[in-house]
């Protein structure tokens, strides 16, 4: 090996990808999980762990870079790659085994980095990283492939020790908060969930790779648990990808019955299909369609519906730990809320044989939670009742919806600081078949289903349609033009808005803006060009 740096040696892809993700999070405000989902690296779990660790240690990393003067002395060293490499060296594998120039540069500062870290006097910077509350590792046993009893036995054979069951939820939370290796405990509410100490990794565990265990947060398991379909039931999961909840429903139903798992986005749909295969969820029928186009005559036997729509993701702990931008503009919240109301209304009023509907979000914003439920309570009248989860759980849960709203405290909130899981909201509707279901009328002049090419609607409830020989486009009524921005989001055909279904995140603010074009010449008389329907809709959104 020649002396000096070997310039021809490339930086490992793992470090390059991790550096790009961290840079995009900090410079562009991206989401860790969304950006990670776009990568095609075979070791996704390693990238996720390295990025999360880097973001959590950022205060210390900035301090070390300042004290060593590394970026000044090494102007060609990329700062984001430097942070990734230092994290790996100090808190990751504790070594860097490659001859590429950036790694060799970092290794020349190795002794100084350790000294500055040990002698660090900036206590506040260290505490900002070290005092972050860590979430325990939740593992859901896939009972379609492995019983809970056998799973516990396997973990005990590996050296883990199961703690005794707690008598109440408060005691259970204390036990979870104090978990340390080799202790683990069974969840208080969901018996198929096993809880391990923070930072426990199962990505390389054979049980995870073959689908016997699923790394799923407890809060994400609550919707399926509260929907509680019996074996043999027919269930509709309206926003199914990546498939965690669908596979949980299949396990609860013991693969008996049928689950329609719907996902519109093609890429996420493929992930959903893969998840159903690896978890052996044979009762699941995957549908690559828009859930808003599903009609009762096509799926008349649906008895249970899970509505877990796109939301702001403000309750996801990983975004909080990485200091990602959690602020959601009022406009974006209104758009999200409008879509959520539309989807939940479709679930409640479009399927007459439904017994129970569960609505959930990984958001802590009342605009996406209590306010959505309040609007639907008016629509369903007495045909559905809002089940009080507080009466179900009694003292064995701590957080519920606000009494300031019509739904009162009947809905469940998960709060990380108390419940030690992601922030979540869940509401349960139950059908009263003694009361007639209100007529399902889509608001305004549009229906959720697309208008056919000949200008005629697939639904009898579609508003006025003007037939044209060539284009067959719909005519926007004066009433539709005068509606608010929120109603326009509801009324427009679902294919007119490109919802980005990236792990509970969406950004409609830029999606609805047309690409910049040169200003056309002004025409007069009959030659004047009229705006098409899409342009007219975007103009209404932007002016509001």
Beta strands (DSSP E) in 354-408 are 356-361, 384-386
Q: Residue 508: its pLDDT value, please? A: 35
The yes-or-no verdict on residue 126 having pLDDT over 80 is no
Is 362 a catalytic site residue? yes
pLDDT per residue over 61-83, tens digit each?
888 888 888 988 888 899 999 99
CB-based contacts of 87, cutoff 8 Å, min separation 6: 50, 53, 54, 57, 61
The token pair that represents 431 in the structure block: 């059908």
Q: Residue 479: its pLDDT value, please? A: 37
Question: Which pLDDT band holds residue 321 (cuts at 50, 70, 90)?
Answer: low
d(CA 89, CA 109): 11
Question: Which pLDDT band holds residue 43 (cuts at 50, 70, 90)?
Answer: confident
Q: Residue 62: its pLDDT value, please? A: 84
pLDDT per residue over 397-412, tens digit each?
999 999 999 999 999 9
The yes-or-no verdict on residue 1 having pLDDT over 70 is no
CB-based contacts of 82, cutoff 8 Å, min separation 6: 65, 70, 71, 102, 106
Q: Can you list the alpha helix ranges (DSSP code H) found in 212-369?
A: 218-227, 244-252, 266-278, 317-321, 330-349
Beta strands (DSSP E) in 333-480 are 356-361, 384-386, 412-414, 424-431
d(CA 536, CA 427): 36
Q: Which of 52-56, 212-216, 441-445, 452-456 has the lowest mean pLDDT?
A: 452-456
For residues 56 and 398, which has the higher predicted lDDT (pLDDT)? 398
Q: Which residues pair with 284 in a beta bridge?
A: 259
Q: Residue 302: its pLDDT value, please? A: 97
Radius of gyration in angstroms for the set of CA atoms belonging to the chain, rounded to a whole number: 26
Give the chain's mean pLDDT. 80
| φ, ψ dihedrals at 54, nearest 5° | -65, -45
Number of other CB atoms surrounding residue 157 within 10 Å: 8
Q: Which of 31-40, 165-174, 311-320, 514-523 has the lowest mean pLDDT?
A: 514-523
pLDDT per residue over 240-274, tens digit each?
999 999 999 999 999 999 999 999 999 899 999 99
Instruction: Determine the angle formed by the axes of helices 79-90 and 58-68, rounding to 10 degrees.
Output: 110
Q: Tell me which of 239, 362, 411, 421 is the catalytic residue.
A: 362
The stretch 78-99 carries a mean pLDDT of 92
Q: Which residues pair with 260 in a beta bridge?
A: 236, 285
| φ, ψ dihedrals at 356, nearest 5° | -145, 140
d(CA 348, CA 334): 21
Total residues belonging to the chain:
544
The yes-or-no verdict on residue 539 having pLDDT over 50 is no
d(CA 86, CA 113): 8
Question: Which pLDDT band holds residue 116 (cuts at 50, 70, 90)?
Answer: confident
DSSP string, 103-139: HHHHHHTHHHHHHHHHT---HHHHHHHHTSPPPPEEE
pLDDT per residue over 288-299, tens digit each?
999 999 999 999
Q: Residue 45: its pLDDT value, please? A: 79
Do 99 and 7 touch, CB atoms closer than 8 A? no
The stretch 496-517 carries a mean pLDDT of 36
Q: Residue 124: its pLDDT value, please? A: 45
pLDDT per residue over 6-28, tens digit each?
456 889 999 999 998 888 877 66
| φ, ψ dihedrals at 286, nearest 5° | -85, 140
pLDDT per residue over 446-496, tens digit each?
333 332 222 332 333 333 333 344 444 444 343 333 333 333 333 333 333
The yes-or-no verdict on residue 502 having pLDDT over 70 is no
Do 368 and 318 touch, CB atoms closer than 8 A? no
Percent of the chain with pLDDT over 90: 56
The token pair that represents 244 in the structure block: 């965690």
Percent of the chain with pLDDT over 70: 73
Query: Up-side HSE of residue 539: CA atoms within 13 Å toward CB?
Result: 9
The stretch 367-385 carries a mean pLDDT of 95
For residues 31 and 194, which has the higher predicted lDDT (pLDDT)? 194
Number of other CB atoms surrounding residue 207 within 10 Å: 18
For residues 372 and 416, which has the higher predicted lDDT (pLDDT)? 372
| Strands 424-431, 304-307: pairing kind | unpaired
Q: Which of 105-109, 199-203, 387-391 has the lowest mean pLDDT?
A: 199-203
pLDDT per residue over 154-197, tens digit each?
999 999 999 999 999 999 999 999 999 999 999 999 999 999 99
Torsion of CA 32, 277, 279, 360, to 10 degrees: 50
């Amino acid at each position: 090996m020649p002396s000096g740096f070997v310039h021809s040696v490339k930086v490992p892809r793992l470090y390059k990808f991790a550096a790009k993700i961290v840079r995009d999070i900090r410079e562009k405000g991206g989401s860790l999980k969304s950006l990670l989902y776009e990568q095609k690296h075979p070791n996704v779990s390693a990238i996720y762990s390295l990025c999360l660790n880097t973001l959590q240690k950022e205060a210390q990393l900035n301090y070390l870079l300042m004290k060593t003067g590394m970026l000044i002395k090494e102007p060609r060293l990329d700062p984001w790659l430097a942070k990734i490499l230092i994290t790996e060296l100090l808190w990751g594998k504790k070594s860097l085994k490659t001859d590429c120039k950036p790694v060799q540069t970092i290794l020349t500062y190795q002794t100084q980095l350790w000294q500055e870290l040990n002698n660090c006097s900036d206590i506040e910077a260290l505490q900002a990283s070290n005092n972050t509350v860590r979430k325990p590792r939740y593992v859901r046993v896939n009972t379609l492939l492995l019983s809970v009893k056998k799973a516990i036995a396997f973990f005990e054979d590996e050296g883990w020790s199961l703690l005794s069951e707690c008598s109440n939820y408060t005691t259970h939370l204390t036990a979870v908060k104090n978990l340390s290796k080799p202790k683990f405990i069974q969840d208080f509410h969901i018996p198929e969930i096993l809880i391990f100490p923070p930072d426990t990794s199962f990505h390389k565990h054979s049980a995870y790779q073959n689908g016997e265990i699923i790394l799923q947060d407890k809060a994400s398991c609550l919707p399926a648990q509260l929907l509680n379909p019996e074996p043999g039931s027919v269930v509709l999961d309206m926003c199914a990808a990546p498939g965690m909840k669908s596979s949980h429903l299949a396990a609860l139903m013991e693969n008996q019955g049928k689950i329609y798992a719907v996902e519109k986005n093609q890429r996420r749909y493929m992930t959903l299909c893969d998840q159903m295969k690896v978890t052996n969820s044979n009762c699941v029928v995957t549908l690559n369609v828009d859930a808003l186009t599903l009609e009762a005559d096509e799926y008349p036997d649906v008895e249970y519906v899970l509505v877990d729509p796109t939301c702001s993701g403000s309750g996801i702990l990983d975004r909080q730990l990485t200091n990602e931008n959690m602020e959601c503009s009022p406009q974006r919240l209104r758009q999200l809320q409008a879509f959520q109301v539309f989807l939940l209304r479709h679930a409640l009023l479009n399927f007459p044989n439904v017994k129970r509907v569960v609505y959930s979000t990984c958001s802590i914003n009342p605009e996406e939670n209590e306010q959505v439920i309040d609007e639907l309570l008016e629509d369903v009248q007495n045909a559905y009742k809002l089940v009080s989860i507080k009466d179900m759980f009694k003292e064995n849960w701590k957080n519920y919806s606000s009494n300031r709203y019509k739904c009162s405290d009947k809905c469940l909130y998960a709060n990380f600081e108390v419940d030690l899981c992601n922030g979540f909201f869940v509401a349960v509707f139950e059908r009263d078949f003694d009361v007639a279901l209100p007529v399902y009328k889509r608001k305004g002049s549009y229906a959720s289903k697309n208008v056919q090419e000949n200008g005629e609607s697939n639904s009898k409830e579609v508003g006025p349609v003007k037939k044209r020989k060539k284009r067959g486009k719909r005519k926007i009524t004066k009433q539709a033009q005068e509606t608010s921005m929120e109603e326009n989001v509801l009324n427009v055909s679902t294919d007119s808005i490109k919802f980005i279904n990236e792990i509970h995140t969406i950004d409609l603010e830029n999606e609805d803006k047309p690409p910049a074009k040169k200003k056309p010449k002004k025409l007069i008389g009959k030659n004047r060009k009229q705006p098409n329907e899409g342009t007219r809709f975007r103009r209404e959104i932007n002016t509001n």
